[in-house]
Amino acid sequence: MTESANGRHVLIFGATSAVAAEVAVLCAARGDRLHLVGRNPVKLAEVALRCAATRVTTQTADFAELERNEACVSEALRELGQVDCVLIAHGDIGNQLESESSIVEAERIFRVNYTSVVSLLIPLANHLEQNKAGTLGVITSVAGERGRPRNYSYGAAKAALNTYLQGLRTRLYASGVSVTTIKLGPVDTPMTHDHEKHALFGKAAAVARSILRALDARVPEAYVPFFWQGIMPIVRNTPEWLFQRVPFLSGR
């Protein structure tokens, strides 16, 4: 089927993640034209099938191959034509313990969660800035707000990305391009399959609805689920001497 006359043109990188797939389904349901980019062609086809209510095209890419990402973006832009909204949703928590003894794993975590995102943002931001329109959304993490023993390599990469997006948002403001930093709390998805679940874990479908609302409203930063906006100031501002004595905060 083709998109409705009022449908937007939406480009999603990392479209096979559980959260991004739910965002894509929501966009399809309202008639947005979609171009989905992901690493696994089988999973990508499954997401595209769920979006059959609209026109959807797909593209495979491994974002960790940094030197190919500019060409990846160019291909996506050609395929989609006009671009109204971009969502970058890929990431990987990685192995924290391994990253403490292996620079290979530490560098991989940074490449997947920070450098690869920047390598997509550079050509995307330039394109949107030239066109003087568009919404650019990037999923980061509340883990970037304070280093914790259980995930500080991942958190450091997300903290760097948060800072990068702050600067990019101000740079693009004058051109009419909005940049939304989506600070995601833990979500019950395959990415967190080995994490002990608790009441603060979000559900992919509900999280996707919140993300889409934030993108539509062009808000600068969005905590998802919303309650993290109240929790994170406490986590950020807890004195280190106390932080280190609270197992929930300082434990592995």
Q: What is the pLDDT of residue 3?
A: 41
Look up the pTM and report it.
Answer: 0.93
On the question of pLDDT at 241 being above 90, the answer is yes
Among 83-92, 159-168, 177-186, 198-207, the least confident range: 198-207
Q: What is the pLDDT of residue 191?
A: 63
Among 16-30, 144-158, 177-191, 207-221, the least confident range: 177-191
The tens digit of pLDDT for each residue in 27-70 reads 999 999 999 999 999 999 999 999 999 999 999 999 999 999 99
Query: Which residues, at least 6 apart from 122, have a Cβ–Cβ distance to it below 8 Å?
Result: 70
Q: Taking residues 224-237, report their average pLDDT.
A: 95
Among 57-61, 98-102, 143-147, 247-251, the least confident range: 247-251
Q: What is the pLDDT of residue 4?
A: 45
Q: What is the pLDDT of residue 193?
A: 57
Cα(224)–Cα(203) distance, rounded to whole angstroms? Answer: 10
Q: What is the pLDDT of residue 58?
A: 98
SS3 assignment for 178-237: EEEEEEECCECCHHHCCCCCCCCCECHHHHHHHHHHHHHHCCCEEEECCCHHHHHHHHHH
Q: Taking residues 76-90, report their average pLDDT.
A: 97
**H/E stretch holding 135:** strand 135-141
Among 16-25, 139-148, 197-206, the least confident range: 197-206
On the question of pLDDT at 215 being above 50, the answer is yes
Share of the chain above pLDDT 90, in %: 88
Q: In what order do the strands lie in the sheet with 221-224?
A: 56-60, 33-38, 9-13, 85-88, 135-141, 178-184, 221-224
Confidence of residue 1 (pLDDT cuts 50, 70, 90): very low
Confidence of residue 251 (pLDDT cuts 50, 70, 90): confident
Spatial CA neighbour of 47 closest among 9, 79, 13:
13
Q: What is the pLDDT of residue 201?
A: 79
The tens digit of pLDDT for each residue in 184-204 reads 999 876 665 565 656 677 899
Question: Which domains can be identified in the chain, with CATH numbers?
Answer: 9-250 (3.40.50.720)
Q: What is the pLDDT of residue 202?
A: 84
Q: Taking residues 227-244, report their average pLDDT.
A: 95
Cα within 13 Å of Cα(200), Cβ side = 14
